[in-house]
């Protein structure tokens, strides 16, 4: 089930000058399924990443961090990414680490690189050993298929319980030249049963220094992948990577109009890819935007938005199309802002003003709330009335189907 | 549905010397249902309370706090409690406050008390005006039924979506005399749809100073009502009240063996009443005990226990009897202990050691995990390996039935 998420069309996905992608069927979990992806980057590229904060981070996440640091320190460049599905290589201890290293070593050998120039990614079952030989055996096939125009297959090859591939392209004019951004993502629950992980990859032909790219990647992640939630669980493998090949020759400065145009484009494509994950959330029947205004800080706005987004009571009310406003107010109340003056809180469902100064709006009629709740896309807006900060979070409802998917997945 | 929760037997519920309880059918939501409870306390009683931290606390909670403070300050005693179900009087603004005051005033008039000597409680739909006339009209009936031996009816009269009444008694020998503790509780989801609230009332004939009683009540609440969670939502009306009539003449000192015997009895009956709420959790099919050892502080143990208890993925795995250990480890990992060294983490399911030093135990077999997961009562124990603190939390699974109850309640 997917809420109004367009299936990406292969021909709409613009190649990113300099990047090539190749997929393979390694048979990690099932034969015949695309489950390995190799991305090749040209010399002169810069790469930035944001990773899970889960203390049980997977071996590949640990190695990504190490390799990004090592290449930056040594003046080397990351030149290849390798992703496998079907196994997360998480909770696998030292053997898991060695398996991820072996993945890098083998791909490096095949592509004439150093180990540190390869970033590894895994998604799938936790706590089971990675069948590294299958990944390695599939690498020649993936390399033989490397093509610039292969984003759709790439999107398919990183799917787990996703019901559809997730990909998008965006082009923006900078200094009279066309800059392309193309990306793919995966993830349906924040963590799947054992199928952990949200992954996002964006490529661009802009030229961006590593430091600036890292700054923009962190910022874009905070406004997109870090602002979506399906069930509040944070995976051991979550990763978001931005790759800038520089092949367009257009250099992005650290301020000014070219900077802002690129920044905006990166945020937009990241949000698009992140929202596709929510729209394809496990069992999702509603796409909910939660905007919290009037906070003292962005952090407290996010805290309130997430309290609403994580409340099983709020989420089941959306599933039932029930304008159960008490549940939303209660979530605002327990979000953890100790000095919140509830008499300053306003609440809207789309255009309907439902709670005024902390209580039911005198003009609010249940049928107006009902009308909004029946829609497939709903905006919840609250104003905390205590500052100028704002934050938006996207989530979905909690349905019978969610319980079925997560209860029945391994049984 | 209730997980192994014994239906209380009226004759097992020991009267508490000095306390009388009377119920009424006020027709607040449905005619003929017990929905008002009055508890009368004798002169010389002390009363202590712990209330919701939700910033959207209900009018009666606000008044309880005010009246407890006012009576303590003025050297008065709380002499009556009045509880209604069917309406939470929450999110009702100034008119809601006035309605709760009116409830106190009317009961005070009937019983010859001052307003401040009455504590009001409400549970039910949020955001709708309290039909205060119905509550007031039912008071004479409740008063006419005041009896010491009326705890079973009292337990029934505070039920909302509870499938069974919750009550327990405990007797303990102190200085050669028998001290009685009897209590009732209600609550099935932390918040119901609109049927908010967890309520707990314990009476005892011990003599306890107000200051000591407040200290013990806070402590007992932290180890019981504050250590259970069904869906992580915190209601606007949650209240836990302990009443000590002193009628036994046995005074509890602030230390020593009599102190410890009373403290232990109060903690045990509070845990019993709190666990009955979890066992009767909305849609619950499993009763889960989560014990976190080896933390630096009790707070961080609780943080980890709650991350596990709140994870929809963990809860659906319990529902499915699926030994999906990765989900539990992932929840420990994202619980927010920034410097957690996962290589020091151990995990057990009942007697089965499943994760050793942060990874799968080499001897762990899935069939052992499966055997435990099939049980109706399961203990999850983790050792964080970084200190001596410990905390236990009780929760239930997340079933289809939970979604049905909360999605369909008002629709």
Instruction: Tell me which chain A residue has its CA closest to the CA of residue B326.
Output: A126
Q: What is the pLDDT of residue A192?
A: 35
Q: Which numeric CATH code is attached to B10-279?
A: 3.60.70.12
Distance CA(A161)–CA(A52), nearest Å, equals 20
| A320 close to B (CB below 8 A) | yes
pLDDT at B196 over 80: no
| A83 close to B (CB below 8 A) | no
Mean pLDDT of chain B: 91
Least confidently predicted of A303-307, A405-409, B84-88, B277-281: A405-409
Tokens coding A190: 């924040």
Q: What is the pLDDT of residue A408?
A: 59
| B384 close to A (CB below 8 A) | no
pLDDT at A220 over 80: yes
Question: What share of chain B in percent tops pLDDT 70?
Answer: 95
Residue of A165 and A232 predicted with greater confidence: A165
Residue of B208 and B194 predicted with greater confidence: B208
List the end-to-end C-alpha distance of chain A, in Å, as a whole number: 21
Mean pLDDT of chain A: 91
pLDDT at A256 over 60: yes
Position B410 confidence tier, pLDDT thresholds 50, 70, 90: very low
Q: What is the pLDDT of residue A313?
A: 81
State which of A241-250, B233-242, B303-312, B355-364 shows the largest mean pLDDT: A241-250
Which pLDDT tens digit goes with each residue over B230-256? 666 677 888 999 999 999 999 999 999
Which pLDDT tens digit goes with each residue over A87-143? 999 888 889 999 999 999 999 999 999 999 999 999 988 888 999 999 999 999 999
pLDDT at B195 over 60: no
Tell me how close the Cα of B11 comes to any Cα of chain A, in angstroms.
37
Which pLDDT tens digit goes with each residue over A2-26? 777 777 888 899 999 999 999 999 9
Instruction: Tell me which chain B residue has its CA closest to the CA of residue A400.
Output: B400
Residue of A405 and B227 predicted with greater confidence: B227
CA distance to A258, A287, B193, per residue, from A324 (Å): 46, 17, 7
Domain ranges of chain B: 10-279, 287-408
Single out the catalytic residue among A92, A180, A197, A229: A197
Q: What is the pLDDT of residue B281?
A: 80
Which pLDDT tens digit goes with each residue over B11-64? 899 999 999 999 999 999 989 999 999 999 999 999 999 998 888 889 999 999
Q: What is the pLDDT of residue A5?
A: 74
Q: What is the pLDDT of residue B3?
A: 78
Determine if residue B160 is labeled as part of a ligand binding site.
Answer: yes
pLDDT at B342 over 50: yes
Q: What is the pLDDT of residue B14?
A: 97
Distance CA(B58)–CA(B63), nearest Å, equals 9
Distance CA(A138)–CA(A36), nearest Å, equals 7
Q: Please provide the size of chain B in residues.
A: 411
Residue of A189 and A91 predicted with greater confidence: A91
Residue of B296 and B126 predicted with greater confidence: B296
Least confidently predicted of A93-97, A336-340, A404-408: A404-408
Pick the CATH number of A287-408 from 3.30.70.260, 3.40.190.290, 3.30.450.40, 3.10.20.340: 3.10.20.340
Q: What is the pLDDT of residue A232?
A: 63
Which of A57, A96, A316 is nearest residue B403 as measured by Cβ atoms? Answer: A316
DSSP-derived 3-state class of residue B264: helix
- List B81's β-bridge partners, or say none: B39, B119
DSSP-derived 3-state class of residue B185: strand
pLDDT at B191 over 50: no
Q: Taking Cα atoms as reference points, which of B360, B307, B397, B378 lies closest to residue A126? A: B360
Phi, psi dihedrals of residue A274, rounded to the nearest 5°: -70, -45
* Residue of A53, A56, A304 to mutate when probing chain B, most B C-beta within 10 A: A56
Which pLDDT tens digit goes with each residue over B352-364? 999 999 888 989 9
Position A260 confidence tier, pLDDT thresholds 50, 70, 90: very high
* Residue of B333, B342, B374, B398 to mutate when probing chain A, most A C-beta within 10 A: B333
Same fold, B10-279 and B287-408: no
Distance CA(B144)–CA(B83), nearest Å, equals 16
Q: Taking Cα atoms as reference points, which of A106, A109, A119 lies closest to residue A77? A: A119
Q: Which of residues 234-273 of B touch A (CB under 8 A)?
A: 234-236
Residue with tokens 């300050």: B73
Which pLDDT tens digit goes with each residue over A351-385? 999 999 988 898 999 899 999 999 999 999 999 99
Position B194 confidence tier, pLDDT thresholds 50, 70, 90: very low
Q: What is the pLDDT of residue B231?
A: 66
pLDDT at B131 over 80: yes
Secondary structure of A204-258 in HEC code, one letter for each residue: ECCECCHHHHHHHHHHHHHCCHHHEECCCCCCCCCEEEEEECCCCCCECCCCHHH
Q: What is the pLDDT of residue B189?
A: 58
DSSP-derived 3-state class of residue B231: coil
Residue of A108 and B311 predicted with greater confidence: A108
Determine if residue A406 is labeled as part of a ligand binding site.
Answer: yes
Tell me how close the Cα of A254 comes to any Cα of chain B, in angstroms.
31
In order, the DSSP letters of A112-146 are: T--GGGEEEEEEEESSS---HHHHHHHHHHHHHT-
Residue with tokens 């109060």: B266
Q: What is the pLDDT of residue A325?
A: 81
pLDDT at A230 over 80: no
pLDDT at B411 over 60: no
pLDDT at A187 over 90: no
pLDDT at A389 over 50: yes
Active site residue B163: no
Interchain contact, B56 vs A333, CB within 8 Å: yes
């Amino acid at each position: 089930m997917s809420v109004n998420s367009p299936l990406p069309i292969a021909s709409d996905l613009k190649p990113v000058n300099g990047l090539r992608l190749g997929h393979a069927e390694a048979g990690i979990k099932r034969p015949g399924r695309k489950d390995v992806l190799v991305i090749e980057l040209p010399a002169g590229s810069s790469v930035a990443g944001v990773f899970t904060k889960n203390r049980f981070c997977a071996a590949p996440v640990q190695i990504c961090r190490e390799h990004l640091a090592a290449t930056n320190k040594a003046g080397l460049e990351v030149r290849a990414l390798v992703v496998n599905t079907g196994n997360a290589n998480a909770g696998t201890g030292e053997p898991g680490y060695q398996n991820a290293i072996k993945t890098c070593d083998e791909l490096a050998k095949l592509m004439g690189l150093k180990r540190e120039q390869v970033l590894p990614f895994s998604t799938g079952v936790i706590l089971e050993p990675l069948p590294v030989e299958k990944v390695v055996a599939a690498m020649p096939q993936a390399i033989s298929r490397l093509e610039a125009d292969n984003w759709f297959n790439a999107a398919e090859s990183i799917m787990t319980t996703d019901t559809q591939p997730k990909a998008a392209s965006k082009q923006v004019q900078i200094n009279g030249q066309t800059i392309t951004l193309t990306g793919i993502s995966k993830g349906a629950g924040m963590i799947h049963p054992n199928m952990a992980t949200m992954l996002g990859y964006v490529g661009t032909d802009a030229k961006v220094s590593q430091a600036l790219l890292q700054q923009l990647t962190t910022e874009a992640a905070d406004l997109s992948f870090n602002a979506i939630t399906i069930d509040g669980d944070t995976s051991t493998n979550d990763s978001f990577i931005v790759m800038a090949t520089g092949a367009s020759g257009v250099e992005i400065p650290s301020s000014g109009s070219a900077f802002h145009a690129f920044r905006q484009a990166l945020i937009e494509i990241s949000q698009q890819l992140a929202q596709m994950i929510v729209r394809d959330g496990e069992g999702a029947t509603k796409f909910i935007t939660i905007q919290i205004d009037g906070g003292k800080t962005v952090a407290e706005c996010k805290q309130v938005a997430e309290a609403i987004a994580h409340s099983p009571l709020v989420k089941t009310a959306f599933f039932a199309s029930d304008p159960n406003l008490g549940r939303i107010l209660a979530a605002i109340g327990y979000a953890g802002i100790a000095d919140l003056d509830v008499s300053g809180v306003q609440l809207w469902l789309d255009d309907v003003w439902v709670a005024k100064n902390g209580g039911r709006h005198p003009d609010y009629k249940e049928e107006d709330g009902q009308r909004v709740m029946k829609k497939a896309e709903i905006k919840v807006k609250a104003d905390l009335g205590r500052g100028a900060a704002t934050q938006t979070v996207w989530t979905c409802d909690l349905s019978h189907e969610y319980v079925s998917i997560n209860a029945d997945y391994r049984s």
